[in-house]
Homo-oligomer: A and B are copies of this chain.
């Protein structure tokens, strides 16, 4: 799922199209999954206005990984729902942020293995810094050891995620786990990888280039 319109990057180009070592972020991301399992069915959800640009980009970069392109919706929830509806019946669906090009093979595997057993799996990391809760002018320390930062891919049993996305959208749906949880399932957490950052700010591109040399 790549919904970014680029506003937070300070430039005009949506962050999923920015270059890391000369290749658009989104191609790195798709390659991660295609390399993990070449038989995996890949569905890319993109804002409608970006689909022609993407197809041009694929031609220019000779990007040959087979994938279906589906248009996004008004929110991430609606975009993911469009993606799910484009998937043929299968065992597991993995939903991944297009702007997380550094997900490791091990993270992908841990998620699929755990979701095959329990129906759900999301990659998380312990929180590395002190945390405070509240508002900017009134906050309190909280015990960071009770918190986990959530990454993607978030992997679910096909019927379970399909049913969860029949719910009406509420603003509390910040990721797919929150949608599935609201529908009554327990979310299984597995270990993510620290390199699996979300490209959100300009400096994240520099970080990603440095990390790519290492993994």
Contact = CB atoms under 8 A, between A and B. Distances in A.
Contacts of A207: 207, 210-211
Interface string A169-207: 000101101100100001111000011001011010011
Contacts of A189: 132, 136-137, 139
A170 to B, nearest CB: 12
Q: How many copies does the complex hold?
A: 2
Interface stretch (A31-39, A61-69, A86-94, A121-129): A121-129
A138 interface: yes
A186 B147 contact: no
Contact of A206 (B144, B175, B198, B211): B211
A21 B142 CA distance: 35
Contacts of A186: 138
A148 B188 CA distance: 25
B128 A200 contact: yes
A128 B130 CA distance: 14
- Interface size band for A: 35 or more
Nearest to A143: B172
A214 B203 contact: yes
Interface in A25-60: none
Contacts of A133: 146-148
A29 to B, nearest CB: 16
Interface string A69-98: 000000000000000000000000000000
Interface of A: 124, 127-144, 146-151, 172, 174-175, 177-178, 181, 186-189, 194-195, 198, 200-201, 203, 206-207, 209-211, 213-214
26 contacts: A124-B132, A127-B149, A129-B149, A129-B150, A130-B149, A130-B150, A130-B174, A131-B147, A132-B177, A133-B146, A134-B148, A136-B148, A136-B189, A137-B188, A137-B189, A138-B186, A141-B177, A141-B181, A142-B147, A143-B172, A194-B203, A195-B203, A207-B207, A207-B210, A209-B210, A210-B210
